[in-house]
Amino acid sequence: MTVASKTRAPVRPLSKQRLRLWIRLLRASRSIEAELRDRLRTEFSITLPQFDVMAALARYEAGINMTELSRMLMVSNGNVTGIIDRLAADRLVLRQAPANDRRSYIVRLTPKGAAQFAIVAKAHESWVDELLAGFDEAEAEALIEQLGGLAATGMKEREL
Amino acid sequence: MTVASKTRAPVRPLSKQRLRLWIRLLRASRSIEAELRDRLRTEFSITLPQFDVMAALARYEAGINMTELSRMLMVSNGNVTGIIDRLAADRLVLRQAPANDRRSYIVRLTPKGAAQFAIVAKAHESWVDELLAGFDEAEAEALIEQLGGLAATGMKEREL
DNA sequence: CGGAAATGCTTCAGGCCTAAAATATTTATA
DNA sequence: TATAAATATTTTAGGCCTGAAGCATTTCCG
């Protein structure tokens, strides 16, 4: 092998390969997202962002404040306001004023919200199970591991 | 090993594992997307959807129609209308009426649009290269392969 | 103490996105 | 050929999303 052939650029440079990977990742996530969005809408008349918020709240029975919520969901602060407004209008969540800090408040699922979430979450899990049926235990585990590092690298500093 | 222990549900059922995978996939793709969106905005004053449209058009020098465009991008038909409107207002794309079908038209990059896209695409590729630096050639290839099947399974029938 | 900085949230303007309805044109078919 | 069905696009109503500006409250610190 000559020096020239050693230093020649590869047919498919790594940067192009990573670009292809990014496009695949994006398409995969978008198509799954679209499918879930569609089923949530037609079967439960709920939007995906609303479901995401309820899922976050379901993990904190005592409730959390708006900033924590927006950090968990990786969306802007102002965005959460609108989603909570709509959920509150449907009596699925409520805002509670804590005693110690009058700037913020705690958001919680109502009993109605928790009951409805339990039903929707069950369906949601089975849909995901169906859509990701191509991955067995080991493949899923490996992929989770590989993707885990991604969110951290090169991103804006974020505690998580 | 008893029959009871054989049939007992696993500690982490596969469906839960797949759910975790989906959440990881979503978070990874969202954080990369957010980073790209931010850089496109601050460095080139362009939105990610606008970039996506230009990238699609760059592959068809002769232009394509709105429906093909929306299928490539996996977004709704009406959505593309607005994005093209804004790009056209900036003289980055143009609409051309074909002779044979007066319902549709062909969208193309203008010379200005093509020149600008070349610059932005170069930066975009280097950003992706940086953000996915954790993946070497083999890992990227494997992941591309694994993700490839995803968009197809369980989705609405779609030619691609 | 008292002002400055930080924090928590909402509002605003602008853009993205969808499903469904409306319009226009073309194609298929009775 | 007439008309129905299909195709291509836009419009509309409603929700999502962001960054920046604004308001209120709390905390920091001289």
Query: What is the structure's pLDDT at A160?
Result: 28
In tens, the pLDDT along B19-49 reads 999 999 999 999 999 999 999 999 999 999 9
As a rounded value in angstroms, the CA-to-C1' distance for B67 and D3 is 26
Higher pLDDT, A1 or B20: B20
Protein-proximal nucleotides of chain C (any atom < 7 Å from a CB): 7-13, 15-21, 24-27
pLDDT band at residue B160 under the 50/70/90 scheme: very low
Contacts of B14 (CB under 8 A, 6+ apart): A129, A136, A137, A140
Q: How many CA atoms lie within 13 A of B42 on its CB side?
A: 6
For nucleotide D27, give the residue with the nearest CA to its C1'.
A101
Query: What is the structure's pLDDT at B74?
Result: 92
| Highest mean pLDDT, choosing among A11-25, A64-78, B7-21 | A64-78
CA distance B18 to chain A (A): 6
In tens, the pLDDT along A96-130 reads 998 889 999 999 999 999 999 999 999 999 999 99
In this structure, the number of other CB atoms found within 10 A of the CB of residue B140 comes to 21
How are the residues of chain A apportioned to helix, strand and coil, as percentages rounded to the nearest 5? 65, 5, 30
As a rounded value in angstroms, the CA-to-C1' distance for A103 and D22 is 14
Cβ–Cβ below 8 Å for B153 and A146: no
pLDDT band at residue B67 under the 50/70/90 scheme: very high
- In this complex, the answer to whether residue A47 has its CB under 7 A from any atom of chain D, a nucleic strand, is yes
* Range with the poorest average pLDDT among A23-27, A103-107, A148-152: A148-152
pLDDT band at residue A159 under the 50/70/90 scheme: very low
User: Which residues are paired to B93 by β-bridges?
Assistant: B109
User: Which residues are paired to B108 by β-bridges?
Assistant: B94
- For residue A35 the two structure tokens come to 């499918």
Cα dist from A91 to A88, B142, B147, whole Å: 5, 46, 39
Cβ–Cβ below 8 Å for A29 and B25: yes
